[in-house]
Amino acid sequence: MSRFPAGQKPSTRAAQALGWIDPETGALVPPVHPAVQYERTAEGEPPGGRVYTRDQNPTYEQAEALLASLEVGQAAMLFSSGMAAATTVFDTLDVGDHVVAPEQMYWMLRRWLQDQAARERIALDLVPNGDMAALRAALRPGATKIVWAETPANPGGAVTDLAAAAAAAHEAGARLVVDNTLPTPVLCRPLEHGADLVMHSATKQLNGHSDVLAGALVTAREDDLWKRCRRERAFRGAVLGPFESWLLLRGMRTVCLRVGASARNAQRIAEALDGHPAVSAVLYPGLPGHPGHDVAARQMEGGFGAVVSLRMQGGADAARRVVRALRLFHNATSLGGVESLAEPRGQVEGPGSPVPDDLVRLSVGIEDAGDLVADLEQALDAVG
């Protein structure tokens, strides 16, 4: 039950989880519903419309409602992982449908799309991130069904103009789907810029504590594409468990605080290291000299995200050595937790990656900014 007043700010909606209150106990924290089945009424009707927990569980319905509210969408769906959410969108396509996606995106999804194209299940064009001329040239009116965007790009930081991408996609008869994992709805809400769907690896900053594997989709409207996505989720069973859904909801209640803190730390780090003699480039759209800064400033608010990437003067060897020299940053994959991480990202992705092997990706957490800058400076000084 919710008695939440309309017009409240996102931070208030998140902190109070839309004001949910248990109607029977008055509890402010929702319970976990582990039940698989729901007993029908004497007339044979399912209570609350729920039949089976694979896609009908009140625990994840509460998390979905909060996420839809934060993204200013009509509805949301949780999945067992970000990959499960993303691939569900493409599994709604017919064989041979055309997809346009960026060259630099979540590496596992890019490889999956390339595999699908190699097996002739889809037609695929990869275009440079943020290059609107290349995106428009790749579109095939009537054949292109999905335009995928990720902005800022992970890990290079390239920025895509969402309003322009949405207009181009719609003119060609396609849908714009945006991976909003890095900004989260705290910093950017793609649906407000014309996107049709938003995808999240909710494992990252939505949960924020590095202890839940989860994904999500949010839609601007409950149209035929959304209905196909919902059907695919039910068929595949790629849903989140009740306890994981409860943990995700708990994490989202502090998302505004955490995302704001990590974005401020990332900005401080980017400014401190810009021009460092051991670094050839700092890739972060919050820097005024970044080529996508103006677009990012127009479609983001409250910061530019928690990912800062460094290209090292000393090449791949320097990237490896600086990560080893860090003391506070953990050498680990993923991003969006309260703790800061670093890795030589191009080397982790391996052969075929568009990410250069001299790039170090920083996932900035919520520690003291001065401590993080000092750790990076000592590591860079050690590399020389």
Select which of 38, 50, 54, 91 is catalytic: 54
In angstroms, the CA 383 to CA 67 distance is 43
Report the relative pairing of strands 98-102 and 144-150 from DSSP bridges.
Answer: parallel
DSSP class of residue 52 equals B
Q: What's at 14, amino acid-wise? A: A
Residue 106 bears catalytic tag? yes
**Considering 55, 97, 106, 361, which one is annotated as catalytic?**
106
- Strands 279-283, 307-312: pairing is antiparallel
Judge contact between 83 and 198, C-beta under 8 A: no
Q: Is 179 a catalytic residue?
A: yes
Q: Are 384 and 317 in contact (CB under 8 A)?
A: no
* Angle at 121 (CA atoms; ends 116, 125), nearest 5 degrees: 65
DSSP-derived secondary structure for 105-165 = S-HHHHHHHHHHHHTTSSEEEEE-TT-HHHHHHH--TTTEEEEEEESSPTTT-----HHHH
Type of residue at 223 = D
CB neighbour class for 287 (10 Å; exposed up to 12, middle 13-18, buried from 19):
middle
In order, the DSSP letters of 205-230 are TTT-SS----EEEEESS--HHHHHHH
- The single residue of 97, 125, 161, 179 carrying the catalytic annotation is 179
Residue 210 region by backbone torsions, left for phi larger than 0, else alpha for psi between -120 and 50, else beta? left
User: Residue 269 has which token pair?
Assistant: 């780090």
Residue 102's SS3 state is strand
Between 369-383 and 315-325, two packed helices, what is the crossing angle to 10 degrees? 130
Q: Which two tokens stand for residue 105?
A: 């995106």
In the three-class reduction of DSSP (H, G, I as helix; E, B as strand; rest coil), residue 55 is classed as: coil
Residue in 204, 311, 320, 361 annotated catalytic: 204
Active site positions, annotated: 54, 106, 179, 204
